[in-house]
Amino acid sequence: MPENWTSSRLGGHVDLHLDLGAEGGRRSRLEAALREAIRSGRLSTGTPLPSTRGLARELGLSRGTVTAAYDQLAEQGYVTTRPGAATRVADVPPHLSAQTPPAVTSPRTPSPAHDLRPGRPDLGAFPTRAWLAATRRVLDRARPEAFGAGDPQGQVELRIALADYLGRTRGVLTTPDRIVVTSGYYQAVRLLCGVLSAQGRAAAAVEDPGHNFYRETVRRAGLTTYPLPVDAYGADVTALAGPAHTVFLTPSHHYPTGVPLHPSRRQAVSAWARATGGLIVEDDYDGEFRYDRHPVGALQSLAPDNVVYCGTTSKTLGPGLRLAWSVLPPDLVAPVVRAKEEADQYSETLGQLILADVIATHAYDRHIRAARLRYRRRRELLIERVSTFPGLTTHGVPAGLHTLVTLPPDGPTEAALLTTCATRGLALRGLTELHHTPTADRPGGLLIGFAAPPERGYPAALDALSGVLAESFTGPGTPGRRVPRP
Q: Please write the tens of the pLDDT for every residue from 419-445.
A: 999 999 999 999 999 999 877 778 899
pLDDT in tens, 155-184: 999 999 999 999 999 999 999 999 999 999
pLDDT of residue 2: 47
Phi, psi angle pair for 159, to nearest 5°: -65, -35
Which helix (H) or strand (E) covers residue 229, if one does? strand 224-231
- For the chain, which residues score pLDDT lower than 70? 1-16, 22, 93-109, 475-486
As a three-state string, the secondary structure of 362-413 is CHHHHHHHHHHHHHHHHHHHHHHHHCCCCCCEEECCCECCEEEEECCCCCCC
Say which CATH topology domain 4-96 has.
Answer: Arc Repressor Mutant, subunit A (1.10.10)
Q: Where are the domains of the chain?
A: 4-96, 126-361, 366-474
pLDDT of residue 50: 85
CATH code, residues 126-361: 3.40.640.10
Contact 105, 47 (CB under 8 A): no
pLDDT of residue 54: 79
Q: Where are the beta strands (DSSP E) in 76-126?
A: 79-80, 88-89, 114-115
pLDDT of residue 72: 86
pLDDT in tens, 355-394: 999 999 999 999 999 999 999 999 999 999 999 998 999 9
Note the residue count of the chain: 486
Instruction: Classify each residue of 433-471 as buried b or exposed e, where b means 16 or more C-beta atoms within 10 Å of its C-beta.
Output: ebbbeeeeeeebbbbbbbbbbeeeebeebbebbbebbbb
Contact 92, 41 (CB under 8 A): no
Phi, psi angle pair for 281, to nearest 5°: -105, 110
pTM value? 0.81
Q: Inter-axis angle of helices 63-76 and 26-39, to 10 degrees?
A: 40
CATH of 366-474, one of 3.30.950.10, 3.90.1150.10, 3.40.50.300, 3.90.1300.10: 3.90.1150.10
